[in-house]
Amino acid sequence: MGEVVGAGLLAHVPTIMLPEATRRELNHGEDSTLVAGLEQLRREVFDTLDYDTVVVLDSHWATTVEFVVTAQHRRAGLFTSEELPRGMTRRPYDFPGDPELARLVAEQGPAHSTFITAIDDDHLPIFYATTNLWEYLGKGLPDKRWISIGVCQTADTEDNLRLGRALGDAIEKSDRKVVLIASGALSHTFWPLRKLRDHEAAGTEHIFSQEAVAADAERMAWFETGDHARVLETMPEFYRYRPEARFGHYLMMIGALGEGDCTATGRQYGEYENSIGTGQVHYWFDRPEGGFPRSRRTPTDPEYVRQTGGPDLPAAG
């Protein structure tokens, strides 16, 4: 039986891929602590933890009519960002995939009344929410498999949790020890272009609004006390601050970890920083004693029906 052995809500912000001299130039001579945070996370976790596969919940990969999970045997090539080609150009990546786990994830879709497809096309684009973190956390570990799941831009909170439940079921049915990475930011409003270059430093005074800073701080406090139930209860409030990808990356992760029953406490790596208006931070959640709880909610469970009024889609069978 497989299990999740650790999970992280991690910032993939493009700044981390700039040369150190450039990062310091943008930040009044100081380096971004997000870089040191990833380097520390690599030393303390990824170089020591026993795991087989990393599943990246990629907030930059927006699908429309379904969730998609990568199912190639290997992904390799040169990555140039369509968004920021000056900062991320022809960066090599090369890692094995996990088609067996990907297909297992897709197979759980009907049981959770959601749509998941495994795609093994070698020409499927890759995004820097995956490659940036692989460069820091996976490069040089050739036996570790990496797969990605995109956020669905038509999905709501419940849809993202359903994906997470399906992912958790698939991992449990596998023989894999899995790390989950929710790759994305907290609040996520950019400064307009004509003002943007006045707000490139990491200080939180450059985040788009101090109300967004306060909203991020609340959630970071809940991460540190393991109060994921509170994070979920207050999602309508947090949406006012435009979390990246409607916080789909976190919601999918916590759906796989037991939702509100998960009390895993977060350990912060690096500081909370600005990136041209957005709130960026790294949090790591260790596997609790006895493992992460598993959500047993499905669209046919009585408690699910009581809380939601029933499934939106017909369950399989």
**Do you know the residue count of the chain?**
317
Per-residue pLDDT averaged across 16-40, rounded?
A: 97
The share of the chain scoring above pLDDT 70, in percent, equals 93
pLDDT of residue 294: 85
- Quote the distance between the C-alpha of residue 144 and its chain's center: 18
Residue 316 pLDDT exceeds 60: no
Report how far residue 7's alpha carbon sits from residue 49's, in angstroms, rounded to the nearest whole number: 12
Per-residue pLDDT averaged across 276-296, rounded?
A: 94
- For the record, the structure tokens of 96 come out as 């094995």
Residue 166 pLDDT exceeds 80: yes
Report how far residue 138's alpha carbon sits from residue 122's, in angstroms, rounded to the nearest whole number: 20
pLDDT of residue 302: 52
pLDDT of residue 201: 97
Q: Is the dihedral of CA 246, 45, 217, 274 positive or negative?
A: negative
Instruction: Give the model confidence (pLDDT) of 209-261 as tens digits.
Output: 999 999 999 999 999 999 999 999 999 999 999 999 999 999 999 999 999 99
- For the record, the structure tokens of 199 come out as 């707000």
pLDDT of residue 151: 98
Return mean pLDDT, the chain: 94
pLDDT of residue 295: 75
Report how far residue 47's alpha carbon sits from residue 50's, in angstroms, rounded to the nearest whole number: 9
pLDDT of residue 314: 44
At 73, is the secondary structure helix, strand, or coil? coil
Could you give the domains of the chain?
Answer: 7-300 (3.40.830.10)
The owner of tokens 């369950």 is 315
- Contact by Cβ (8 Å): 174, 98: no
Report how far residue 12's alpha carbon sits from residue 20's, in angstroms, rounded to the nearest whole number: 16
**Stated pTM of the model:** 0.94
Which among 180, 266, 181 is positioned nearest to 219, based on CA atoms?
266
Confidence category of residue 305, pLDDT binned at 50, 70, 90: low
Which among 59, 110, 57 is positioned nearest to 253, based on CA atoms?
57
- Contact by Cβ (8 Å): 71, 150: no
The share of the chain scoring above pLDDT 90, in percent, equals 92
